[in-house]
Structure 1
Amino acid sequence: MKRIGLVLPYDYKLLSVAALLDVLETANKLVVQKGEAAAFAIQIYQLPQQLQEGNTQFHDYAIQSTATVKGVLDMILIPAFTTTDMQLTIVKNSPFIPWLQQQYRSGAEVASFCSGAFLFGASGLLNGKSATTHIDACSAFARIFPEVKLKPNETVTADERTFTSGGSTSLFHLIILLVQKYCGHEIAIQVAKLFAIDLDRYQQSYFGTFRPNYAHNDALVSMVQEKIEKQFHQIENLEAVLSDVPSSRRNLVRRFKLATGIPPIEYLQNIRIETAKKHLEQSQLSVSEIIDKSGYTDPKSFRKIFQKVVGMKPLEYREKFKVR
């Protein structure tokens, strides 16, 4: 029986915790129905100060303290957060970090789900490893944790004893992977069917929305952002952006990437693709008309970039997301 430790941090997302428990409990029931012992011994953990502040019970689970864990857990699960201030949330949950590090060094596997990757990243355990998180949080994650090999488009990553998943429903893809790892393919398929999980979804890029980062104090970068967003349909190259900006190309690119997480040319590309997505969702315009309104002159180039950024062809995107 595998010892699973589910962390219940400050600002946890209830849906994430409930889904993890539901899937693991279901896997246990299916294994028991086969006449075998349950696969998972599930325990919920909080910091000592959390237990002093409130409840010691979560539904049918008695919450245990990270200070009293006996031995090494087989796997620790970090759920998603619900927060408007991720930095504050990480600070509040930072006392979990030494415990996570100690458990990992002793042999535990660690998995995070959606924005739970921010606490995982803060532990340093993902440095040099592949990871993902919610597609819309990837830019912020990359800025904060540059040593992590971020895979924004991936639904799930597995690197040695670390596992991460993308946006909310990607949780199911990772937990099914872990069920398969510990319970076998047959149980994993049964669980997937019970929860109606589409196991063929390997990317999350088409769920993303590009949200420009303005949370910096670089006036020059803000000037360039505004210029790109207002003139994206007529900008031909980076030189056009630089034409009246008091900075060298090298200095601008360095400062822009530091402030926004991406270089200016990629920023321009994201603004154009986001414009195309909105037209595909909300208008009856043809793809050729949308290409023109998005600032592209080469249809082949547009289609190639769109598929790279979004993960599907323009007409496939329209079919999937068009407002009807």
Structure 2
Amino acid sequence: MKKIAVLLSKNYKLLSVAAILEVFETVNKFHLANNEEKPFLIKLLASPEEAAKNNEAFGYPLLAINTPEVMDLILLPAFTTENMPQTIQTNSACIPHLIKQYNQGASIGTFCTGAFLLGASGLLNGKIATTHVDASSGFAIAFPEVKLKADKTVTQDGRLYTSGGATSSFHLLLHLIQEFCGKEMAIKTAKVFAIDMDRDRQSYFSTFQPSRNHNDDLVAIAQEKIESNYHDTATIEELIKDIPSSRRNIVRRFKQITGITPIEYLQQTRIEAAKKLLERTAQQMSEIIFHSGYSDPKAFRKIFKKSVGMTPSQYREKFQVR
């Protein structure tokens, strides 16, 4: 029997916790219905203060995060927060105990933005990971040593697991169930929760939302120039030529602040514009390509597919508002 613990961190997202508990409890019920031992012993972890006030939550035993009991798997749910650095700081007391559990043999899995807490532990340094696609740029800036795979639904690197946003959490749960209980049980669970097991990318759910929450005036000027003139077929050098600084300095500071280069920023701005036109208009593809700032249809389609994970026509078919 695997000992699974869900961390009730501060600012945890209730929906994330509920999904984890429901899926593992469903698998337990499947086994009990077949007169088999349930495969998972589910517990919850919380701060010592919270655990001292309550010995259970949601009907499960509640233990302090500093428990000497070693878990087989610790799961970190998503956060509900508009200030991730503050939320990580609020939960920083958990980090040494997560590291200790990992060093004693526990596996750790994160759901959506829960990856930020694992990233702050340093355990992900040099390893692959994913998170909510719209939080990926912030994650890349905060944890540059992590090999972020922002388009991936699920990643596994040794005993560390991460998942993308929202429904991607179910894909990580299925991945874990398949690993612990076999593919047949994973398929059975997928059918109960109506999960498409074949989805391995989340990039087409992303929305490019560049941050302006910084104090670098040079970068802000560059962002404004790109966002105001992306539809021109000018190169990035032409767009930023009037900024009073060397190209090298602009690129360095721009990537430090935004997590991507000015060229990548221009590409993502153009692709986001194309996505909106595909969703909201009936324009011909040639018009969309032109209004997005591209002159070469072949280059546009190549960049679009690489960025979004599907062709422009497939994206329109999937997301157009009819």
* 1:216 equivalent in alignment to 2:218: no
Q: Which residue of 2 aligns with 1:41?
A: 41
* 1:286 equivalent in alignment to 2:315: no
Counterparts of 1:260-275 in structure 2, within 5 Å, are 260-275=258-273
TM-score normalised over the length of structure 2: 0.98
Q: Distance in 1 between matches of 2:65 and 2:295?
A: 58
Letter in 2 for 1:147: E
> What whole-Å deviation, never above 9, does each CA across 1:214-249 have from its counterpart, x for those lacking one?
111110110011011111111421220232111111
Dislocated runs of 4+, deviation >3 Å: 54-57
TM-score normalised over the length of structure 1: 0.97
Q: Which residue of 2 aligns with 1:63?
A: 62
Q: Distance in 2 between matches of 1:58 and 1:49?
A: 14
Q: Which residue of 1 aligns with 2:168?
A: 170
Q: Which residue of 2 aligns with 1:9?
A: 9
SS at match of 1:118: helix
> Aligned-pair RMSD on alpha carbons?
1.1
In structure 1, stretches of 5+ residues that fail to align are none
Letter in 1 for 2:61: A
Q: Distance in 2 between matches of 1:67 and 1:116?
A: 19
Percent sequence identity is 56
Contact 1:4 1:75 in 2 (8 A): yes
Letter in 2 for 1:322: Q
Q: Which residue of 2 aligns with 1:51?
A: 51
Q: Which residue of 2 aligns with 1:193?
A: 191
Counterparts of 1:66-215 in structure 2, within 5 Å, are 66-70=65-69, 72-215=70-213
Q: Distance in 2 between matches of 1:308 and 1:230?
A: 24
* Bigger mean CA deviation after superposition, 176-185 or 230-239: 230-239
SS at match of 2:66: helix
Letter in 1 for 2:90: K
> What whole-Å deviation, never above 9, does each CA across 1:58-90 have from its counterpart, x for those lacking one?
2211311123342x2100000001011111110
Contact 2:236 2:266 in 1 (8 A): no
* Bigger mean CA deviation after superposition, 57-66 or 75-84: 57-66
Contact 1:74 1:108 in 2 (8 A): yes
In structure 2, stretches of 5+ residues that fail to align are none
Q: Which residue of 2 aligns with 1:20?
A: 20
Letter in 2 for 1:307: K
SS at match of 2:162: strand
SS at match of 1:214: coil
Q: Distance in 2 between matches of 1:68 and 1:202?
A: 35
Q: Distance in 2 between matches of 1:165 and 1:68?
A: 26
